[in-house]
Structure 1
Amino acid sequence: MAITIGVLAVQGAVREHLLALKVLGVKAVSVKKAEDLEGLDGLIIPGGESTAIGRLIREQGLEDRLHSFHKEGKAIFGTCAGLILCSTDKSHKTDDLRLGFIDMEVERNGFGRQVASFETSLNFEGIDQEVEAVFIRAPYIQSVGPDVKVLATFDGKIVAAEQDNVLVTAHHPELTEDYAVLNYFLDKIGK
């Protein structure tokens, strides 16, 4: 089955996701405006700076189209800042965009600042071997709703979860040569 994955290309680790998908033999396109979502089988919202990405989503008029893409049941994968954007989190009382795709509250920069970035291996539900995980100024998930499945934890904190067609990770799977998590996301499209 030939599939096409979009990578939201307003800010963040866009190039790295496009390259990783290319290695996996998947057609990948940059999404910069609402019409770029037409005909896609899935979308990755990459890591970067969640406030900046949210502001640019609004400025580019993408918010409504992202909501309809989600309601269509298309697969969505939020990594790092993308995790924050996919959340329902309103705990910090800001005007920052939250798309509300997955019922969870998050702690931005939960593992510390840039200098506290680290790499580790994770047990990931649904993947037979440990996965390489790169955490850069990473958030973690404080709590999840009843319909959210926790997929991975680190140091007692939730770092990967899914709800229906939405997958989120606090780490950056595009920054390693371990493509197990990206393949897990691609498998969601086939279901």
Structure 2
Amino acid sequence: MEAKHIQLVAAGPDEKVWIAEITDEDETFKLKRDFLPEQESGIWDIYPGWYQIQGLVPGLEPFQKEYVKVEHGEMTRFLNFRWMLQELPKIKAYEPQRLERVKHQLHLELDEIKAAVPFEPVAEEIERQKEDLDFLENSSQAIAGLGMLRQRKASMIKQYTEYFQYWEEQW
């Protein structure tokens, strides 16, 4: 499953920029949104699925909390709320694929940490964390974990590196 990259900028000085994947039904808002973490500043990865987007892609009409569907590498824009509600059975049925996709993304992030800190105890810890991903119950949990991991990845690498450099010096 290959990601499409989308780069968003704020449409105005007070505007927010985000992409939320529609993952389920919500009692209050009807559609459950899971806000995706950026791949890097201003860049998101999107896969087949249903999304709500806020932001501006230079050269395109702005996304104003717009619902879109991505399928076969193509994005369908300007979908209305009523249409999205009719898609809920498909959105719910897509949960297993969505969960596996996010687990795969988590594996890639963990592999980057393991490669950056080539110490056996780190590799073992990373492999344990990968095994723990099997306990995720839904894509919402996985997306939240992906966001936290991306936020903490640089500091984790730094902490692991400093710890093992200190450890080597003491031996």
| TM-score, length of structure 1 as denominator length | 0.24
Higher share of residues assigned helix? 2
Give the greater-gyration-radius structure (CA). 2
